[in-house]
Structure 1
Amino acid sequence: MAEPSPRKLRRLHRLHHAHHALRHSWRHSLRLRLIVLFLVLAVALTLTFIGGMQRAMSLGWRDAARPLVVDYVDHLVADLGSPPQVDKAQALVQRLPITLRISGPQVNWVSNPAPHAERGWRRHASEGEGDSPLLQRDTADGHHIELGLNLGRGQYQPRRIGWFTLGALLLLTAGTYLVLRRLLRPLDDIRAGARRFGQGNFDQPIPLRGHNELAALAADVNTMAQGLHGMLDAKRALLLAISHELRSPLTRARLNTELLPDSGEAQPLREALTRDLALMRDLISDLLESERLGQGHSALHLEPTALPALVDEVLAQLDGASTIERQLPASMPLLRLDPSRLRLLVRNLLDNALRHSAQAARPPVISLQAAGLQWVLSVRDFGPGVPDEVLPHLAEPFYRPDAARERSSGGVGLGLYLCRLVAQAHGGQWQVRNAQPGLEVRITLPPGLEVGRAG
């Protein structure tokens, strides 16, 4: 069997893409469903109306109009004379929108050489009760006369009327679509506003259009967003105030700890106090940093950065980093990044990987590779990993799995949270997955950060 040509494959791909896009639109577009519902309703009403009118007209024709037409046809045939006269037939055809066919021993004459136009009416008119067709007569002198409707005249063209009706229906459908689009426009505004609010941007409220239920819904969402904004600002202000107020007594406590004897019975107490004070210092620093990064991209200090050199610098200052496997490119472009925040990200990821690799058969791996126009930074350990239901919560502030709450594990649950904030502030994507074995964190930096090539 011959393989399909590239052109046919592209056509099939476009058809598949169009089918997928149509299915997606049907499932997710309320506007499209309302338009289809309107069309189905319009067609159903039209068919019902036409069927009812045809039934009513057929009953009216059979009961009332048919006797009148029979009498009128007899009158027309009588006016033609016996035998039928061609001049009277021509005058009759000129005066009325009909066709005539006369056949017999003395006169054979046809008013219309293309009589197919009359067959529809003659067949329709002959339906019903009676032994002879409605528009056919046999005269006493042996002539046979057939009458039909002449549809060739401009004022009697149902096909043109049908096209006009179809055009009017299309215009009505287009107008209805525009009206529905205008009525449902607040839904697009509400969706865009919800996305902005979810990203922490409360500066632009949802515009209110009209005074209907959707406008009331938009007003309620704006009110909810204002409440959330106030709660977040209050929380941020409280954390910043507590962090700043704790720094001064913490510094004094460290100074007092340094005054304790560094030998004898006081030495264990001094080491324990120093360790706890260092943990509190790191916690306060992380809290302040998380609130700064909560402002997004505006909190960054971007400059051209060689990311492999930055990773090597962090590895050189990290305890236990000699066992970490490195998969870094020998050369890559310089990227516009915040070096201090990237150091924080890499250090936290590596520290987390080392902490959970104590009993692992293989040391952690840090890799940096290109993915099209993007760069992906990945850190993976080969430890026990975490349950799947825990993965969505790992980057939440102060969250730690139950298995990691013992004192020896270290940390208070801000490390991965800060890493996610750093990635999002740079416009990157954050992904955590169970690598089986171990846990893998992937940071995908967006395209457009390249400023040059490092040697």
Structure 2
Amino acid sequence: MRARRSGRWKAAHRRWRHSLKWRLVTLFLLLALATTAVFMFGTQRALQSGWQGWVRPIVDDYAERLVAEIGSPPDPARAQAIVARLPLTIRIDGPQLHYDSHPRDEALRARRFDPSQWGLVRHSADGHRIAFGLAGPSPESRPRMFGWFTLAGLLLLTALAYAYVRHLLRPLEAIGEGVARFGRGEFGTPIVTKHHDELGELSERINRMAASLQGMLDAKRALLLAISHELRSPLTRARLNAELVPEGEHRDALLRDLGEMRDLITDLLESERLAAGHAALQTEAVDLAALAREVVDASFAGRALRLDLAPDIAPVQADPTRLKLLLRNLIDNALRHSAEAGEPPTLFLARHGGGAQVQLELGVRDHGPGVTDEQLQRLAEPFYRVDSARTRSAGGVGLGLALCKLVAQAHGGELLIERARPGLRVAMRWTPAQRGPNEIDRPQDTRAGGA
């Protein structure tokens, strides 16, 4: 229980440190409390100083006049006349007279006859003790109420100041959302703010920077597409000419190199098309398990490959061509780098969660040598190859996982690359769009997942 409470406290502390809004609220509250404390302390010191320096001599002189007016020996009638005229209480104790102007008010008696409170205690010449007090509310209650009202007023002013600061900082939300869109490559929607201040100027600068980046990316993409298209024609002619070379080792090597260049150009063109995200997809209702088996039968028949496909996943809206591209790259990568492993790679399809939060995973797990932490972070980078396993002689140019990542992102998901000990587990995880309302449920596939 204590560990759970400590964990919640640490999580709340992290959220507080991350939130500028709540840190400002805390600052304003501390400022209000500190201002109130300083104000009340200063006011108290000022009143004490005024009491000691100016008010008390006047009160002492007036108390002497009241004692003289009561007389010696004290006259109760005169004391009662003073009480009727002024908001005072009077108590007289002595050898000849005992008088109390408010005998039934016990709380007032305990308050008014404390000599340390005001010091308004006098002794007459005949030995009577005359104590004066205030008949109004407690002298402590008024400053205390004044302090509470002061604190309430400061808190109200703090809330108003916070609301105004919150209004000033509201453009930061739009700026943060806009920067996130630009980071995903969505430059079509600029940052919109109605403020004409420094934050408004910052938004305009970010919009201009995004427009400049979009122009540079478009120019780079156009150049790459143009080069790729222009290279296809001479490569096709070179391959036709290579077919005329007499059969032998040199002809096979030439055809292999030309095929690698063709695949590279195809991957580059596909990566640029997928850079447009979901707009590049041609979606339809896809049976993922059937699609996985189709890819295995068409491209990897007879290869050592294990299937683990969940049988009860209904068709989802996806691009079957791009999903086949993802599966071919993942399976080929796994087969190439686990050739000496004792177990074959596993092609899997799994479902997590339920309802609107359901997520699917489609991927491959191999039992190869794996990679280091540093290499794991870079596996999805274009043209990156692990030196110990990904050499040109082994095939591949380092675009396979980069293309898989683009396919996953275009479907609104992510590509997960994890160490499986041994080997790697690479999967596309996404929340799919389910089949349309006019489509009917298909019977559950009860075939075994293993191959």
TM-score normalised to structure 2 length: 0.85
Q: How does 1:99-248 map to 2 (within 5 A)?
A: 99-104=89-94, 105-111=96-102, 113-114=104-105, 116-117=107-108, 123=114, 126=116, 134-140=119-125, 142-152=127-137, 157-208=142-193, 210=195, 212-248=197-233
Q: How does 1:268-283 map to 2 (within 5 A)?
A: 268-283=249-264
SS at structure 1 position matched to 2:49: helix
Pair 1:140–1:99, CA change in 2 (3 A): same
1:71 paired with 2:56, answer: no
The amino acid that maps onto 1:47 is A
Q: Which moved more, 1:317-326 or 1:335-344?
A: 317-326
Which of 329, 353, 364 does residue 310 from structure 2 map onto?
329
Conserved? CA contact 2:90–2:130, under 8 Å? yes
The residue aligned with 1:435 is 420
Pair 1:229–1:96, CA change in 2 (3 A): farther
The residue aligned with 2:349 is 368
Deviations 1:255-278 (A, max 9, x none): 3344x15xxx45544433333332
Pair 1:289–1:59, CA change in 2 (3 A): same
Which of 63, 75, 82 does residue 92 from structure 1 map onto?
82
Q: Displacement, 1:230?
A: 1.9
1:420 paired with 2:405, answer: yes
The residue aligned with 2:380 is 395
The amino acid that maps onto 1:24 is R
The residue aligned with 2:299 is 318
Conserved? CA contact 1:391–1:432, under 8 Å? yes
Q: Displacement, 1:213?
A: 4.5
The residue aligned with 1:54 is 44
Deviations 1:90-147 (A, max 9, x none): 5534543333334454452333743535766765x737xxxxx721223345543322
Conserved? CA contact 1:151–1:157, under 8 Å? no
1:340 paired with 2:341, answer: no
Cα distance in 2 for residues equivalent to 1:59 and 1:316: 97
Cα distance in 2 for residues equivalent to 1:327 and 1:447: 19
Conserved? CA contact 1:354–1:364, under 8 Å? yes
The residue aligned with 1:308 is 289
Q: Displacement, 1:51?
A: 2.7
Q: Which moved more, 1:195-204 or 1:404-413?
A: 404-413
Conserved? CA contact 1:332–1:453, under 8 Å? no
Which of 281, 290, 293 does residue 274 from structure 2 map onto?
293
Deviations 1:129-183 (A, max 9, x none): xxxx7212233455433222234399x8444433322321220221122122123
Conserved? CA contact 2:171–2:195, under 8 Å? no
Cα distance in 1 for residues equivalent to 2:150 and 2:193: 38
Cα distance in 1 for residues equivalent to 2:185 and 2:264: 24
Cα distance in 2 for residues equivalent to 1:280 and 1:377: 29
Q: Displacement, 1:448?
A: 4.7
Conserved? CA contact 1:423–1:443, under 8 Å? yes
The residue aligned with 2:449 is none
Q: Displacement, 1:384?
A: 1.1
1:382 paired with 2:367, answer: yes
Q: Which moved more, 1:420-429 or 1:186-195?
A: 186-195
Q: CA RMSD in A?
A: 3.1
Identity of aligned residues (%): 51
Runs of 5+ unmatched residues, structure 1: 1-8, 128-132
Q: Displacement, 1:197?
A: 1.1
TM-score normalised to structure 1 length: 0.84
Q: Which moved more, 1:381-390 or 1:79-88?
A: 79-88
The amino acid that maps onto 2:327 is V
Pair 1:96–1:247, CA change in 2 (3 A): farther
Q: Displacement, 1:365?
A: 1.0
The residue aligned with 2:30 is 40
The residue aligned with 1:30 is 20
Conserved? CA contact 1:93–1:111, under 8 Å? no
Q: Which moved more, 1:410-419 or 1:58-67?
A: 58-67
Q: Displacement, 1:339?
A: 0.9
Cα distance in 1 for residues equivalent to 2:157 and 2:28: 11
SS at structure 2 position matched to 1:433: strand
Conserved? CA contact 2:111–2:138, under 8 Å? no
- Provide the aligned length of Structure 1 versus Structure 2: 434
Which of 398, 404, 408 does residue 393 from structure 2 map onto?
408
Conserved? CA contact 2:271–2:406, under 8 Å? yes
The amino acid that maps onto 2:107 is H
Pair 1:269–1:18, CA change in 2 (3 A): closer
Pair 1:296–1:94, CA change in 2 (3 A): farther
SS at structure 1 position matched to 2:315: strand
Pair 1:118–1:64, CA change in 2 (3 A): farther
Runs of 5+ unmatched residues, structure 2: 445-451
Pair 1:112–1:106, CA change in 2 (3 A): closer
Where relative contact order (Cα < 8 A, 6+ residues apart) is larger, the structure is: 2
Conserved? CA contact 2:194–2:200, under 8 Å? yes
Q: Which moved more, 1:240-249 or 1:290-299?
A: 240-249
SS at structure 2 position matched to 1:403: coil
